[in-house]
Structure 1
Amino acid sequence: MRAAVVTAFGDADVIEIQHLPTPTPGPGEVLVDVQLTDLIFVETAIRAGLHGGFFDVTPPYVPGSSFGGVVRTVGDGVSADWIGKTVTGRTASFGAHAEQVVAPAESLLEVPDGLTLETAVAVSGDGYTALMLEELATDLTGKHVLITAAAGGMGILLVQLAHRASAHVIAAARGQAKLDLVKAHHADVVIDYGQPGWEKLVLEATNGAGADITFEGAGGTLGATAFTVAADHSWFSAHGAPSGGFAAYDEADAERRGITVKGIRDLRVDTATTTVTAAQVLARAAQGDLVPVIDRLYPLDQLAEAHRAMTARELVGKALIRIR
């Protein structure tokens, strides 16, 4: 089978297309003929050798986790009824950017009627995290909600969820095309955080009080700046790192101001305790609560190009990888 392989930590040139043996499903596993896979920003950072404390992986490895395709065979203990079904799923670690993948049967969901495979794959990863953040945050209704990296795959979904909850949605992104996109998805205020002093516009939009809830997906200095305009006794999620690291904040300052902060380690713990399920994500997508924006669809042999586009901030919405 053909698979993308990260041969060493480095820039996107370390990704090679290689021929590997087709894997065999073990007990409780299935083998899937992959049609589409998701690509999220953190995968580009892992490829570059970052976040080693969060993700245990050593090259060479096949990247990717979320996929969509058709079940080919099943391992012991798995019903043969899965064979031939069109499904989404997640690998136990990595390995999705390949023509075939082995995954736990418990991760599979049959794609419901009325939902395309593209939509199902695009929403499965980002949608899960977005619904988890929706669950963890205090009630969004009527709150000033700041969303950074708002034009990214998950940012768009958070804008949609906050709007549906009747929040006052303040969406921050870079460049007019991204601002236009989040405005079209019902952000009440759009702010270009590529402009100096953008945080002052957040204060203006909140009558000087700051954001009640912040979904911080940008990281780096942008994330640190977002923390300065979080209201006292607010809720702040530092879940994104495309700007070179997760948002830095002063823990003593957060405690003094009564701000509840969810860092990346906290969110990984919460992933194990959330009531959100993958089935719920697809159900919310099927009913129109989660509408992913797919910017580009790359063939497998252009995975490196997709990584470059993502790190260069060229994407407006999501990129998917077409395997076959």
Structure 2
Amino acid sequence: MRVIQVVRFGGPEVLVPADLADPVAGDAEVVVDVEVADVLFLDTQLRSGWGRGYFAVSPPYVAGNGVAGTVSAVGPGVDSALVGRRVIARVGPTMNEVQVPMGGYAERAVAAVGEVVEVPDGLPLRDAVTFLHDGPTALGLLHHAALQPGERVLINAAAGGLGALLVPRAKAAGATVVAAARGARKLELVREWGADVAVDYTESGWLDEVGGVDIVFDGAGGAVGEEAFGLVAEGGRYLSYGAASGDFPRVDQADASRRGVRYLGIQELRYDGPEARRELRALMAEAAAGRFRPFVGQAFPLERAADAHAAIEARRTVGKTVLEVG
């Protein structure tokens, strides 16, 4: 089968096509014939050598942590009725209770059966894969934020795949949504998704445009995230889940305590289990019924995975980025 391997840590050029033996499903596993692979900002970070203290990756390895496709085989202990079903699934071995993001940029991938979620009829697999990581994250952020109708919310790095879900869901929950992104194209897009206010956080004075907020959803990190923390009103919430700037924000915890601001970092934002999976299925059902539209901003052939990574790192992407495999 065709795969894309990270042959050494480095820039996008280290993503190299290769041929490997077809995978075999083990106990409680399935093989998925991949049609679409999810491309995450995390994939670019791991490829560069970032995060080795947390994720046990070492070259050569097949990049990628998420796929959409059709189950072609099942291992011992798995219901054979899954064969032929359209699914999304996170892939990669689990080490020390952490799933290692690898194995997705391939024609076929192995997934633990517990990671498999069936895709409803009427929802294209290219759309379904947008929910795999960003769906639970968006739902988890809204769950932990306990957003109330009428609250004012700032979403940083709002024009990415997660923003395409978080902006309309926050709006539907009754919030006034302020979306911060980079450049005119991205600002236009977040307005289309339902943002009440769109601001460019690369422009001076952007904080004044935002004003005070009850909640910050920060996917930018770095200086942008740190500046946004100062906008949170007393008793508000600040949720830090991304590092698009290259690092997580350094938040003054003493200041948070003084102002009664509840700070939640990425370690506190886990949202999984049966409830999360039910909500994920409901979210895909909404999309299949046409009540909600996911957004794939750019798709690359599998062999052009390096171009996909380069585009993400250059901040040229909007919405979700995917690789088309099948």
User: Fold match, TM over 0.5?
Assistant: yes
Structure 1 distance, partners of 2:227, 2:45, is: 22
3-state secondary structure, aligned to 1:87: strand
The CA deviation at 1:287 is 4.7
Q: Corresponding residue for 2:319?
A: 317
Q: Corresponding residue for 2:103?
A: 95
Residues 90 and 132, structure 2, Cα contact 8 Å, conserved in 1: no
Moved over 4 A (4+): 287-290
Structure 1 distance, partners of 2:258, 2:108, is: 51
Structure 1 distance, partners of 2:146, 2:62, is: 38
TM-score, scaled to structure 1: 0.93
TM-score, scaled to structure 2: 0.93
Q: Corresponding residue for 2:231?
A: 229
Structure 2 distance, partners of 1:140, 1:114, is: 32
Q: Corresponding residue for 2:8?
A: 8
Which runs of no fewer than 5 residues in structure 2 stay unpaired? 93-99
Structure 2 distance, partners of 1:62, 1:187, is: 37
Q: 1:241 aligns with which of 234, 240, 243?
A: 243
Q: How many pairs align?
A: 316
The CA deviation string for residues 155-188 of structure 1, in whole angstroms up to 9 with x for no partner, is: 1211101110121100101111100001111111
Which runs of structure 2 are paired with 1:22-33 in the superposition (5 Å)? 22-33=22-33
3-state secondary structure, aligned to 2:179: strand
The CA deviation at 1:279 is 2.4
The CA deviation string for residues 125-178 of structure 1, in whole angstroms up to 9 with x for no partner, is: 111110111111122311000001111110121110111012110010111110
Structure 1 distance, partners of 2:266, 2:152, is: 22
Structure 2 distance, partners of 1:131, 1:225, is: 25
Q: Tell me whether 1:143 sits opposite 2:151 in the alignment.
A: yes
Structure 1 distance, partners of 2:180, 2:247, is: 18
The CA deviation string for residues 261-286 of structure 1, in whole angstroms up to 9 with x for no partner, is: 1112222xx23568311424423433
Structure 2 distance, partners of 1:124, 1:177, is: 25
Residues 147 and 175, structure 2, Cα contact 8 Å, conserved in 1: no
Q: 1:255 aligns with which of 254, 257, 270?
A: 257
3-state secondary structure, aligned to 1:244: coil
Q: Corresponding residue for 1:69?
A: 69
Q: Tell me whether 1:119 sits opposite 2:119 in the alignment.
A: no
Pairwise CA RMSD: 1.5
- Percent of aligned pairs with the same amino acid: 42
**Partner letter of residue 22 of structure 2?**
T
3-state secondary structure, aligned to 1:249: coil
Q: Tell me whether 1:47 sits opposite 2:47 in the alignment.
A: yes
Q: Corresponding residue for 2:194?
A: 186
- Cα 1:167–1:288 change in 2 (3 A) is farther
3-state secondary structure, aligned to 1:271: coil
Residues 299 and 323, structure 1, Cα contact 8 Å, conserved in 2: yes
Q: Corresponding residue for 2:306?
A: 304
Which runs of structure 2 are paired with 1:265-280 in the superposition (5 Å)? 265-267=267-269, 270-272=270-272, 275-277=275-277, 278-280=280-282
Structure 1 distance, partners of 2:132, 2:170, is: 19
Residues 148 and 172, structure 1, Cα contact 8 Å, conserved in 2: yes
**Partner letter of residue 226 of structure 1?**
A
Q: Corresponding residue for 2:97?
A: none
- Cα 1:16–1:309 change in 2 (3 A) is same
Residues 302 and 323, structure 2, Cα contact 8 Å, conserved in 1: yes
Q: Tell me whether 1:173 sits opposite 2:181 in the alignment.
A: yes
- Cα 1:91–1:223 change in 2 (3 A) is same
**Partner letter of residue 199 of structure 2?**
I
- Cα 1:33–1:291 change in 2 (3 A) is same
3-state secondary structure, aligned to 2:276: coil
Residues 66 and 124, structure 1, Cα contact 8 Å, conserved in 2: yes
Q: Corresponding residue for 1:207?
A: none
- Cα 1:275–1:218 change in 2 (3 A) is same
Segment drifting more, 270-279 vs 250-259: 270-279
**Partner letter of residue 319 of structure 2?**
G
**Partner letter of residue 242 of structure 2?**
G
Structure 2 distance, partners of 1:248, 1:200, is: 21
Which runs of no fewer than 5 residues in structure 1 stay unpaired? 204-209
Structure 2 distance, partners of 1:302, 1:247, is: 32
The CA deviation string for residues 78-100 of structure 1, in whole angstroms up to 9 with x for no partner, is: 11111122211111432011011
Structure 2 distance, partners of 1:245, 1:180, is: 26
